[in-house]
Amino acid sequence: MVQYRRSFLPGGTFFFTVTIADRRLKLLVEYVGLLHTAFTAAHRERPFEIDAIAVLPDHLHAILTLPQGDADFPGRWRRIKGHFSSALLNAGVRLPRRSNGELALWQRRYWEHTIRDEGDLERHIDYIHFNPVKHGHAARVRDWPHSSFHRYVRAGLLPEDWAGDVREDAGTFGERPE
Residues in the chain: 178
Query: In the prediction, which pLDDT does 168 show?
Result: 64
DSSP state of 49: E
- Name the amino acid, one letter, at 84: F
Residue 128: band (very low, low, confident or very high) from pLDDT cuts 50, 70, 90: very high
Whether the per-residue pLDDT at 163 is higher than 80: the answer is yes
pLDDT one-digit tens code per residue, 32-78: 999 999 999 999 999 999 999 999 999 999 999 999 999 999 999 99
Out of 6-10, 94-98, 117-121, the most confident range is 117-121
Q: 3-state secondary structure string, 74-137?
A: HHHHHHHHHHHHHHHHHCCCCCCECCCCCECCECCCCEEEECCCHHHHHHHHHHHHHHHHHCCC
**Helix (H) or strand (E) segment spanning residue 14:** strand 13-19
Measured distance CA(115)–CA(16) in Å, rounded: 10
Does position 169 have pLDDT exceeding 70, yes or no? no
**CATH 3.30.70.270 describes domain 13-163:** no
Q: Which helix (H) or strand (E) holds 50?
A: strand 49-55
In angstroms, the CA 91 to CA 85 distance is: 10
pLDDT at residue 176, rounded to an integer: 45
